[in-house]
Each structure stands twice: as structure tokens, then as C-alpha cells.
Amino acid sequence: MDVCIVGGGIAGLTLAYWLSEKGDNVTVLEKSSSLRTEGYMIDFFGPGYEVAEKMGLMNELRNIHYPIDSLVFMKNDGEKKYDIPYPKLRKLMDDKHFNFMRGDLESVLYKQVKNRVNVKFDSSPVSIDQDDDHVYVTLTDESTLTSDLLVGADGMRSSVRSLAFNETFNNSIRYIGYYTAAYIIDDPAVLSKTGRSFYTYSEPGAQVSVYPIRGNKVATFFLYTYPEQQGHVTQERAFHQLHEQFGHMNWIVPDLLKASVDADDFYFDEVSQVELPEWRNGRITFVGDSCQCVSLLAGQGASMAMAGAYTLAKSLENQTDLSTALAHYEQSLHSDIEALQRSARKFANYFLPDSWWRIYVRDVLTRASVLPGIRKFVNFKTVRLPQ
């Protein structure tokens, strides 16, 4: 089967791997000119971890993993409030857990597929048509690609959704009230103020984290509530907003904000989910954030993207015809993803509390979560992979 995947992120590359494993002829269209390195450190566990095991990636993932000592919650004056040793947190995930930078996972996946699928960088669809037998994609260079199946793996703001589903922009995006920023600082003075842990300071509606990464650099992660969805935000406006939201804080925060102007890999985005009522239209379907974005509040975006890709590939392998396979894929995941999205929205006030009282409750629960015997009561909502 000829398959065109739009988007070479975590979902698109994982799908490319599994389809090429089963002998499909795969083309991946990626609009960036190369792999993108932006993003923050992700917790990687759950079904994506299982998919990575099936792909034989454990050694590669161990190499990109950061052996963070602990999760340290800070006070505004730079004193430690409390800490949770990471090994105890990993126990909650039965030790099947990694922390690594989002971009590093993408690089590992790209290495798996680059010699067996055609990854076309600087390439996007400008129009998509289909008939009973094929899908026809016109690309930015005006060439046409004909395939048996087209998969939109192009993230939260999927252009495949608008081109193939005539969707008006943002129709399926549910803004859940937060903005996030992440960037890398290459400044020894800032590094000298951190240790080997992941440090977080929270105030009602605003949270900042900082942690060391390879190359003697420091990575940051900001999250704050914002009343409305802002559309496109320029980098200048984003800096301004970070100063507005975090400028009054102490600890290391003034250094982080000062360094933002010279920062590498500046990432800034709204925190939203994607709720797509139908995941398929004839020979077109979706995978990853384009149809199932759960948002960073669920803490499993990359894991879910890999789980979705694997589930789609297995449905295509095991079902007799395309239409049945796409229906089977959607039925296997759609309602579990909706449940996960609901649970992420409920969890939002734990992730970023909106009052000092809720911060207190969050702290008590976080400390309790690693007490002996608690593991059997902790149940992460997730999805099940096909056998």
C-alpha cells in the first residue's frame, strides 16, 4: 500500500516505522526544513513506552534519558519547600519511565525510519482530493502525490483537517485556559544556581520550572493561566507576556527572564485539546495530536501519539479492507482518548493550582503519592494497545 503521512513529528515517524515494517511504501511530508528541537522535557511512560519496547528502542532511550535526582518544590525566596526523589516517582510507573527532551525522542524515531521511508522536508499539502481508489495531494512545490491512504499527523493545528474536512480553523480545538513557554539557556552563571534536579516554583495560576540538560545548559518550562485564546503570538509578545506573568517572582526567575531574549529553541504555545468528532473520511485519517491532542496537562502527549500510531498500523495490518481498518482504529481509541481528555481537564487545578489553598492541597497529595503502599491506589488513565 502507498501511504502519505503529513507531519514528521512523534506520531508521524512512529507510524512510518510500523507501516514500513509491514512492507508499505511510505512518504512523510514535513513542513520544517529539518527536525525540530524545541520543546520541554517530557515524562515518558505508559503505552508509548510499550510501543518503544516493541520497536527495540530501550537502549536509544536510555541514552537520551536524563537521570534527574528529584523533583524539588521551591519557595519564592529560593529555599527548598520539599522534594520527591525521582526513583520513588518512577516506582509509581513500575519503573517504566524516562525523562527526555521532546526533540531527542523525535531524533531517535527519525533514525529508525530515515533509510526506509521517504521523508520530504520543506513539504506540505496545499490541496487534497480523493476518489474511491486513491488520495491525491498537491504539494507546496506543485508536484502531486498519489497514495492509497493519507494520514494527517500534523499536530494540533492540522492542515489536513482543514483541507480534507473543510474544517474552519480552530473548530476542533478546545482551549483549556493556559499558555506555556520553554527555552534553553546557555549561561554558566544560571547553571551554577541549579543542581541536578527538576526545580519548580508555583504561585496561583503561574508555575516555573528549571532543570539542567546536557552541554552545561539549563532548560526552562513556564505555565500560566490566561483568560482567552490569543491566536498567533509573536516572539516579542510572548517575552512580554512572560515578564508580565513572572516578573514579580524572586528565586532564579529574574535570571531566567533576562536570558529569554538570547534563548535557543524558544517554544511558546497555548494549552489546548483537539476534539475531532470523526477521525476518518474515505481514505483519509489522523494520528497523534491532529485528532487526539490530550495536552500537556495529561502528561502523555508523546506516549499517546506513539500508542495511536501503533494502533492504526496494527488495524491496517489485521483488518481485511481499508474502511474496516480505519473504523476499527477509531473505535479502539476514540472514547478512551475522550476520557483521558476529561480527566486532564479535571486534573488541571492539581497541575497548576489557582489559589494558595489548592497549592497546599497539591503539595500534600504530591508528598503522599510516594508513601509506601500508595502504588496500588494510583491508577493513571491511559489507553490499551492492541495485542
Ligand X SMILES: Cc1cc2nc3c(=O)[nH]c(=O)nc-3n(C[C@H](O)[C@H](O)[C@H](O)COP(=O)(O)OP(=O)(O)OC[C@H]3O[C@@H](n4cnc5c(N)ncnc54)[C@H](O)[C@@H]3O)c2cc1C
Q: How far is the C-alpha of 222 from the C-alpha of 210, rounded, in Å? A: 9
Check residue 307 for interaction with ligand X (CB under 6 A). Answer: no
Of 4, 5, 8, 19, the one binding ligand X by CB under 6 A: 8
Check residue 164 for interaction with ligand X (CB under 6 A). Answer: no
Which residues face 19 on adjacent strands?
Answer: none
Check residue 61 for interaction with ligand X (CB under 6 A). Answer: no
Judged by beta carbon, residue 110 or residue 199, the one nearer ligand X is 110
Of 4, 10, 101, 274, the one binding ligand X by CB under 6 A: 10
Check residue 29 for interaction with ligand X (CB under 6 A). Answer: yes
**Closest Cα to residue 24, out of 313, 282, 306?**
313
What does the H/E/C string look like for 231-249?
Answer: CCCCHHHHHHHHHHHHCCC
Q: How far is the C-alpha of 41 from the C-alpha of 53, rounded, in Å? A: 20
List CB contacts of 214: < 8 A, sequence separation 6 or more: 66
Judged by beta carbon, residue 3 or residue 153, the one nearer ligand X is 153
Q: Which stretch binds ligand X (CB under 6 A): 8-16, 60-68, 167-175, 344-352?
A: 8-16
Cell 503561574 -> residue = 206
**Closest Cα to residue 211, out of 196, 224, 222, 201?**
196
Q: Between β-strands 198-203 and 206-213, what pairing exists: parallel, antiparallel or unpaired?
A: antiparallel
Q: Are the CB atoms for 74 and 201 separated by under 8 Å? A: yes
Judged by beta carbon, residue 64 or residue 370, the one nearer ligand X is 64
Which of the residues 139 through 158 are near ligand X (CB under 6 A)? 153-155
Is the C-alpha dihedral spanning 43, 48, 54, 57 positive or negative? Answer: negative
Q: Which stretch binds ligand X (CB under 6 A): 65-73, 188-196, 249-257, 299-307?
A: 299-307
- At its nearest, how many Å lie between ligand X and the CB of residue 140? 8
List CB contacts of 325: < 8 A, sequence separation 6 or more: 315, 316, 318, 319
Judged by beta carbon, residue 242 or residue 305, the one nearer ligand X is 305
Check residue 47 for interaction with ligand X (CB under 6 A). Answer: no
Q: Which stretch binds ligand X (CB under 6 A): 36-44, 74-82, 200-208, 376-384?
A: 36-44
- At its nearest, how many Å lie between ligand X and the CB of residue 320? 28
Cα 376 to its chain centre, rounded Å, is: 27
Instruction: Please give the size of the binding site for ligand X, defined by CB under 6 A.
Output: 29
Q: How far is the C-alpha of 256 from the C-alpha of 223, rounded, in Å? A: 14
Q: Are the CB atoms for 293 and 170 separated by under 8 Å? A: no
Q: How far is the C-alpha of 305 from the C-alpha of 383, rounded, in Å? A: 11
- At its nearest, how many Å lie between ligand X and the CB of residue 102? 5
Check residue 283 for interaction with ligand X (CB under 6 A). Answer: no
Q: Which stretch binds ligand X (CB under 6 A): 32-40, 62-70, 275-283, 313-321?
A: 32-40
Which of the residues 208 through 267 are near ligand X (CB under 6 A)? 267
Judged by beta carbon, residue 81 or residue 97, the one nearer ligand X is 97
Look up residue 257 and give its three cell numbers: 527572564
Which of the residues 314 through 343 are near ligand X (CB under 6 A)? none
Give contact residues for ligand X (rule: CB under 6 A).
Answer: 6-12, 29-32, 36, 38-40, 102, 124, 153-155, 159, 182, 267, 288-289, 296, 301-302, 305
